Amino acid sequence: MPALVNYGGDDECYPGVSFYPSPMDLDGLLPSSSHVDLYFRPSKRARIGAPVVFGGRASEQVCKPSIEALPDECLFEIFRHLHSTKERSSCAGVSKRWLMLLSTIRKAEICKSNRASINPLVERLNVVQKKPESDEISDHEDESNGFLTRCLEGKKATDVRLAAIAVGTSGRGGLGKLSIRGSNSTRGVTNLGISAIAHGCPSLRMLSLWNVPSVGDEGLFEIAKECHLLEKLDLCHCPSISDKGLIAIAERCTNLTSLIIESCPNIGNEGLQAIGKSCSKLQTISIRDCPRVGDQGVSSLFASSTCAITKVKIQAMNITDFSLAVIGHYGRAITHLTLSGLQNVSEKGFWVMGSAKGLKKLTSVTIASCRGMTDVSLEAMGKGIANLKQMCIQKCCFVSDNGLIAFARTAGSLETLQLEECNRITLLGIGGALSNHIRNLKSLTLVKCMGIKDIAQEVTLPSLCTSLRSLSIQNCPGFGSASLSMVGTLCPQLQHVKLIGLYSITDASMLPLLETCEGLVKVNLSGCVNLTDETISTLVRLHGGTIEVLNLDRCRKITDASLVAIADACLSLNELDVSKCAITDAGLAVLSSSEQINLQVLSLSGCSEVSNKSLPFLERLGKSLVGLNLKNCHSISSGTVGMIIEDLWRCDILV
């Protein structure tokens, strides 16, 4: 049988050379007269392609030296001697390793001396410059208010991109604002990426983190340690951030002026107490849905004598009457106050806040979904808040006509009143508040107030409300002809009228309003499906010289006759919306032929009777247009749309 010589098994790898310097050395092992079959297993190909030099009985490989063989410590020392942003950006484009290593270098660690001694080594780096995937290390920079701004959303929010931002924006004015919205599901933003921003962007002034569960206190520690200029911090859905991170921000970022915390379950009273103690420049505070925050945390923000907070939003919190009492006593700098979803605050809390008379600068109040907001509370706020100009009450089911009238009697500075889903408010309450008491009211808005309904008996109106300039009634199904007639008679100085989704309004009910008002400027009748061309004809006849904006969206009974009237009488019309109306090509032809029409915005969305024949009319109107809406105009072909876009290249066109 043939003998197998030097068979080493499947796992041995041969470098492609004999074990002996020369094949002739084998002759000494073989008898001269015998014929032995020799089996030499084929050698596997060498995995290293370096040249092999034969010498002695061993093979040697000569490898080309590589900078990649250096450990991170050595590369770090080299990189921190790179002075220019261009050099660091070029190195960052070589590999992910170099990028992440460069992002760990703080600005203070960049060596500013002994440049000559390190330059020869730096210049020998064989840097391969390549275009990065993102534009964070490009020459194009978006500047906002003197600072560079970056916003990462969804899949683009990764640690690598943050590292690129940290390296690329360094030395080019510095990053001032960073917003992260969401995070990559597989390799999202972590403390590593936030730390890179902290190290490379000490000029950061605004940081916004939304829905980044992997960022915790360690990331905020680095921000607090390096970014002492931070002014605005926005944390939303960040479950890994706790009081520890917020305390670090409070202690080191004393320039903080704005703090927004929403749905952060691990932030509680301790963090807010630290903010109240250390951040004397805080002006805006917004807290929403943080179950660990209670009266101690909220009250600590206002108890300081140096408190400068001007804007406050507290929503869906477990605070009690105590917090509102503190705000009422110590909120002397507050100008805007929003309280929403405070289920543990009673009537007493709102009463004390209003009666304390400490809210001397408060001008705007919004109260929503608070059961403690009653007639008694509303009256107390009217008496105690002397400079109140804007009042918005939403979904407060215990506020009725009596509270509204009492509030109107005492709120002498009130200019804007908005009532939304306050179903105990009726037409009697609205009429009584307008005609008797509110002498400076300029704007009234009613939204989804189901208690407002037409009444059979005639309402006695003691006096007119001559101050009201804007009236908005939206989606109040009971607001009909009688209601509109009363309001129109009561408010002769109206200029802006918004009647949205009022199915009960007819041409007859619109007539008193149009005849009473002296000069309407903006009219919105969208969703009033029972209005016809008769209303538009009367409107343009009486107010054609002053009207600037007219919205007839979803008024299905409006036809070309209204466009004819508009073309003849409207001298100042800038915006016209006839979406989903019975408009045809003929109406557009008349409108475009008017020499006095100078429209800037025209909406024809959903006008199925407008076809390709309107191309010359739209081109004629397009001489002044800056906005044109042709969405869902199915009778206009794609080819015609392309021609319109080409001809009206200065106009923003929606298709």
Q: Is the pLDDT confidence value at 146 over 50? A: no
Q: Which of 9-13, 162-166, 306-310, 354-358 tops mean pLDDT?
A: 354-358
Q: Whose CA is closest to 372, among 433, 417, 325?
A: 325
pLDDT band at 66 (very low <50, low <70, confident <90, very high): low
- What is each CA distance from 267 to 87, 180, 291, 585, in whole angstroms? 41, 20, 8, 61
pLDDT tens digits for range 611-644: 999 999 999 999 999 999 999 999 999 999 999 9
Of residues 458 and 647, the one with the higher pLDDT is 647
| Burial tier of 49 (Cβ tally within 10 Å: 0-12, 13-18, 19+) | exposed
Half-sphere exposure of 170 (CA within 13 A, CB side): 32
Of residues 465 and 245, the one with the higher pLDDT is 245
* Domains located in the chain, CATH noted: 1-64 (no CATH), 519-655 (3.80.10.10)
pLDDT confidence of residue 93: 61
Query: Two tokens at 149?
Result: 């701004």
- What is each CA distance from 177 to 151, 192, 196, 207, in whole angstroms? 8, 18, 15, 6
| Burial tier of 37 (Cβ tally within 10 Å: 0-12, 13-18, 19+) | exposed
Half-sphere exposure of 104 (CA within 13 A, CB side): 13
Distance (Å, whole) CA 31 – CA 490: 129
Helix/strand/coil percent split, the chain, to 5: 35, 15, 50
- What is each CA distance from 393 to 421, 422, 451, in whole angstroms? 8, 8, 15
Compute the Cα dihedral for 306, 308, 312, 316 and give only its sign: negative
Mean of pLDDT values over 494-506: 94
pLDDT confidence of residue 108: 63
Inter-helix orientation angle 115-123/72-79, to 10°? 120
pLDDT band at 272 (very low <50, low <70, confident <90, very high): very high
Q: Is the pLDDT confidence value at 175 over 50? A: yes
Q: In this structure, are residues 198 and 218 in contact, taking their beta carbons and an 8 Å threshold? A: no
pLDDT tens digits for range 327-358: 999 999 999 999 999 999 999 999 999 999 89
| Burial tier of 228 (Cβ tally within 10 Å: 0-12, 13-18, 19+) | middle
pLDDT band at 79 (very low <50, low <70, confident <90, very high): low
Distance (Å, whole) CA 107 – CA 203: 10
pLDDT confidence of residue 466: 85
Residue type, position 82, single letter: L
pLDDT confidence of residue 486: 83
Q: In this structure, are residues 146 and 176 in contact, taking their beta carbons and an 8 Å threshold? A: yes
Instruction: Name residue 500's beta-bridge partners.
Output: 474
Strand ranges in 182-302 using DSSP code E only, listed in sequence order: 206-210, 232-236, 258-262, 284-288
Least confident residue range of 88-97, 244-253, 357-366: 88-97
pLDDT band at 455 (very low <50, low <70, confident <90, very high): confident
Instruction: Name residue 367's beta-bridge partners.
Output: 339, 393
pTM: 0.80
Of residues 163 and 535, the one with the higher pLDDT is 535
pLDDT confidence of residue 134: 40
How far, rounded to the nearest angstrom, does the alpha carbon of residue 415 sit from its chain's CA centroid? Answer: 29
pLDDT band at 164 (very low <50, low <70, confident <90, very high): confident
pLDDT band at 248 (very low <50, low <70, confident <90, very high): very high
- What is each CA distance from 31 to 26, 173, 400, in whole angstroms? 11, 84, 120
Percent of the chain with pLDDT over 70: 75
Q: 211's torsion region: left (phi>0), alpha (psi -120 to 50) or beta?
A: left
Residues ≥6 apart with Cβ < 8 Å to 512: 484, 485, 488, 489
Mean pLDDT rounded to a whole number for the chain: 83
Radius of gyration of the chain (CA): 37
Distance (Å, whole) CA 285 – CA 317: 14
pLDDT confidence of residue 489: 82
